[in-house]
Chains A and B, each alone.
Chain A
Amino acid sequence: KAGVTQTPRYLIKTRGQQVTLSCSPISGHRSVSWYQQTPGQGLQFLFEYFSETQRNKGNFPGRFSGRQFSNSRSEMNVSTLELGDSALYLCASSRTLAGSTDTQYFGPGTRLTVL
């Protein structure tokens, strides 16, 4: 069974631009969660989508948004990029809601650099 896939793997943008990252969950998984990893803040939860609905959101500004499609694939968008948005963005999938007793599986991540 294929794992979680994320595209692109690497991205370089300049301040003020916007970016869209994509995540395809494991087949049959309906929950997709997004996390941001930085050296200073560690791994922080961005949001979770389940059945095309945002179920939970972390403490990030409105510039960070996402959506989920009917095939469970998810995209996250960051508008008006700032230098501090440079990070590794990780996507995780699980069969059921992320808050349940279910294992989350992570993709390889997208490394975003903002210049």
Chain B
Amino acid sequence: GIQVEQSPPDLILQEGANSTLRCNFSDSVNNLQWFHQNPWGQLINLFYIPSGTKQNGRLSATTVATERYSLLYISSSQTTDSGVYFCAVGAPLGSSNTGKLIFGQGTTLQVKP
């Protein structure tokens, strides 16, 4: 099945710093989402980005589908950005991995004041 690897596993930043989180996937996908898991466990949608680039405030994401990776950029980080960031991919209809999101292991981000 599709493998999803995220790096780094852990990241500690000072408030105001920028960061880049990476997601590599092993096969073609038609769905890629970035999530932030809040301290209570809910997965908050950040981006739906199977290809291309999107920006939302201090966050932006780029997916290069042909090279099978996606990047999440966080600029001017704030303490409220702390938490776990997940990348999840979905396989095209008809493939053995369709019908579900396959998650990476996540990047745990801690932003210090």
Contacts and interface: CB of A to CB of B under 8 A. Distances in A.
A23 interface: no
Contacts of A37: 41
A103 B41 contact: no
Nearest to B99: A56
A108 B41 CA distance: 6
Nearest to B97: A99
Contact of A33 (B40, B50, B100): B100
Contact of B48 (A33, A42, A55, A103): A103
Nearest to B31: A101
A88 interface: yes
A108 B42 CA distance: 4
Interface string B1-39: 000000000000000000000000000001101010000
A52 to B, nearest CB: 16
Contact of B102 (A45, A48, A55, A102): A45
A104 interface: yes
A106 B100 contact: no
A56 B41 contact: no
B86 interface: yes
7 contacts: A42-B105, A90-B41, A97-B93, A98-B90, A98-B99, A98-B101, A99-B99
